[in-house]
């Protein structure tokens, strides 16, 4: 270990600042659970064209709350590790105020239920599934 490396041992509050930065802040899991309701998901997956968003807002991952440039980029994202991690984290029921009250001693503990979450269908896949059904 050189002289320069020995001097860089004190991190201070930099890791905390990095943790709470809001530049790349994404939606929380409970907000994504609200977006996964049929009414909201239909609205988010069929957005009007917006030239300010990547891919004009037409390629959206509902579970990760991200826009993608093309359908191929969206399909590659579905196979990626961050997407699979997000799907796994969404499989537990979101935290509720009732659960907070139970944790504070105002009721008995109820373990969170599992929620079945699958990757969304892409528009191309939905069209081919409908044509196969006919």
Give the integer Cα–Cα distance in Å for 26 and 78: 17
Compute the average pLDDT of residues 24-31.
85
pTM more than 0.75: no
- The tens digit of pLDDT for each residue in 62-82 reads 999 999 999 999 999 999 999
The C-alpha atoms of residue 10 and residue 39 are separated, in whole angstroms, by: 50
Spacing of C-alpha 81 from chain mean position: 12
Q: What's the rounded Cα separation, in Å, for the pair 1 and 113? A: 50
Is 2's pLDDT higher than 90?
A: no
Over residues 82-126, the pLDDT tens digits come to: 999 999 999 998 888 888 888 888 878 788 888 888 888 887 765
Q: What values do phi and psi take at 133, rounded to 5?
A: -70, -30
């Amino acid at each position: 270990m050189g002289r320069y490396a020995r001097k860089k041992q004190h991190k201070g509050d930099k890791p905390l600042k990095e943790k709470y930065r809001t530049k790349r802040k994404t939606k929380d899991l409970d907000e994504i659970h609200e977006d996964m309701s049929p009414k909201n998901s239909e609205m988010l997956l069929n957005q009007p064209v917006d030239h300010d968003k990547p891919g004009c807002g037409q390629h959206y991952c509902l579970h990760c709350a991200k826009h993608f440039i093309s359908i191929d980029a969206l399909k590659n994202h579905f196979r990626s590790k961050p997407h699979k991690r997000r799907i796994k984290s969404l499989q537990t029921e979101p935290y509720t105020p009732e659960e907070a009250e139970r944790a504070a001693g105002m009721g008995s503990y109820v373990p969170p239920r599992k929620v079945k979450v699958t990757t969304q269908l892409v528009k191309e896949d939905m069209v081919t599934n409908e044509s196969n059904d006919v």
